DNA sequence: CGCATATCATTAGTGTACTAACTAAATCCG
DNA sequence: CGGATTTAGTTAGTACACTAATGATATGCG
C-alpha cells in the first residue's frame, strides 16, 4: 500500500531484467521448436551440433566449456544425439578418461539443412539485422560481466 | 570445407542470438540462486511472488498470462509456494472454477527481504543502470516482436 | 614403484518447463 | 433446461539444468 508509492519500481515485474531475459529466452527458443522438430533436434541439441560443426572431435569437457553447460547436462543429451545417429561417442585412445565426440556422416549432412534455420528465425523475430547484432552484443556484455565477476570471486 | 569459406558465419556459435540469450538467461538466473536460497525460493517462484506482491488475489489464469507460464507449469509451483507458507490456494467464492491465490502474512513480509535482491543482482552484473535499462528495453522488443508474430499467425 | 591427488565422465535426485490428452466443475447462453 | 465454453488440475512423456556423489583413469610426488 504505502510501498506502492515509496518503492514503486524495484520489485515491479515489468522492470526486472531477469524476467525479460527469461521470457525472451523461452520465447525465442520456442521459435526454434517447429524448425528443429523436422531435424529431430531440441534447441540445446542444436547448439551442440553447432559446436560440433565448428570442430568435430571434441570431448565432453571441451563442449561443456564452449556451451557453458555442465557435463552432467551434456552426458544424457549426447546419448540422445548418438541414438539419433548424429554423433558417435568413443573413448579417446590417448586418454581413456575422455570421450571423443565425432559427427557421423548423417550429422555432417544435417548441417546443410540447418543452414536454412537462422534466416527463418530472423524473419520470425521481425527484427532487422542491426537490431539482432545489437541484441547479441548486449547479451555478450551481460555474459562477459558475470564471467569477470565469478572469476574475481573465485 | 568449402562451406567454411562460403558460409563463414551463419552457423557459428558466437553469432547465434539464441545461444547468447540462452547463456545470458541461465547465467543471470544463476546469480539469483544464492540470493533466493535463504528465502526458500527458486527463480520462477520468485517471479510468481513478484506478481503477487503487485496484485494479491489472482487466479491461475491471470498469473499464467502475466508470467507467460502454462497453468500446467504453475499448478505444481503454486503448491510448493503454499507448502512454503507464502501463499494460500482457495476456490473463489464467486466462481468456483477459479482459484484465489492470496499472500499469507509470511508471503507479504517476504517482500521486505526481497527488496534487497535487485540491487545485489545489479551489482553482481557489473552493469550501469542505463545499460540494464537498455538491455531490458531490447528484450521487451524481442518479446513484443514475437508476440505480434504469433498474434498475426493466430 | 606405489599411493595420493586430480581429472573426466556418469549417475542419482530435484525442480522447472513444455506438449498433449483428459477429467471435472462451474458458468454462460440459446 | 442443456449443451458449449471456461478454468483448473492431472497425468504421461520428453528434455534441460543444477548439485552432489561415484567410478574410472591419469598423473605426480615421495
CATH number at residue A61: 1.10.10.10
3-state secondary structure of A93: coil
Q: Is A12 exposed, middle or buried (0-12, 13-18, 19+ CB in 10 A)?
A: middle
Question: Sign of the C-alpha dihedral, residues A9, A13, A16, A17?
Answer: negative
Closest CA to B31 of A138, A136, A143, A13: A143
Number of domains in chain B: 1
For residue A136, being part of any structural domain is answered with no
For residue B1, being part of any structural domain is answered with no
Q: What is the pLDDT of residue B5?
A: 52
Q: Count residue pairs from A and B with Cβ separation < 8 A.
A: 188
For residue A134, being part of any structural domain is answered with no
Residue A148 confidence (pLDDT) above 80: no
Residue B146 confidence (pLDDT) above 90: no
A25-78 pLDDT, tens digit each = 999 999 999 999 999 999 999 999 999 999 988 999 999 999 999 999 999 999
Residue B43 confidence (pLDDT) above 90: yes
For residue B84, being part of any structural domain is answered with yes
For residue B93, being part of any structural domain is answered with yes
Residue nearest to nucleotide D24 (CA to C1'): A97
- The stretches of B1-128 forming alpha helices (DSSP H) are 3-6, 17-36, 43-54, 60-67, 71-83, 105-114, 117-125
B53 near A CB under 8 A:
yes
Q: Note whether A111 contacts B12, CB cutoff 8 Å.
A: no
A54: which chain B residues are within 8 Å (Cβ-Cβ)? 11-13
For residue A27, being part of any structural domain is answered with no
C-alpha dihedral, B81 to B87 to B90 to B94, nearest 10°: -130
User: What residues make up the domain containing B76?
Assistant: 40-110
For residue B75, being part of any structural domain is answered with yes
For residue B123, being part of any structural domain is answered with no
CA B22 to chain centre: 14
B61-111 pLDDT, tens digit each = 999 999 999 999 999 999 999 999 999 999 888 888 889 999 999 999 999
Amino acid at each position: 500500500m504505502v510501498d506502492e508509492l515509496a518503492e514503486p519500481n524495484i520489485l515491479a515485474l515489468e522492470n526486472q531484467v531477469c524476467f525479460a531475459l527469461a521470457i525472451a529466452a523461452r520465447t525465442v527458443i520456442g521459435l526454434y521448436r517447429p524448425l528443429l522438430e523436422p531435424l529431430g533436434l531440441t534447441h540445446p541439441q542444436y547448439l551442440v551440433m553447432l559446436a560440433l560443426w565448428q570442430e568435430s572431435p571434441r570431448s565432453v569437457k571441451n563442449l561443456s566449456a564452449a556451451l557453458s553447460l555442465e557435463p552432467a547436462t551434456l552426458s544424457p543429451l549426447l546419448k540422445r544425439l548418438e541414438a539419433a545417429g548424429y554423433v558417435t561417442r568413443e573413448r579417446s585412445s590417448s586418454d581413456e578418461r575422455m570421450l571423443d565426440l565425432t559427427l557421423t556422416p548423417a550429422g555432417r549432412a544435417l548441417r546443410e539443412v540447418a543452414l536454412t534455420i537462422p534466416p527463418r528465425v530472423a524473419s520470425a523475430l521481425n527484427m532487422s539485422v542491426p537490431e539482432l547484432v545489437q541484441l547479441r552484443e548486449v547479451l555478450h556484455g551481460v555474459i562477459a560481466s558475470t564471467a569477470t565477476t565469478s572469476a574475481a570471486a573465485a
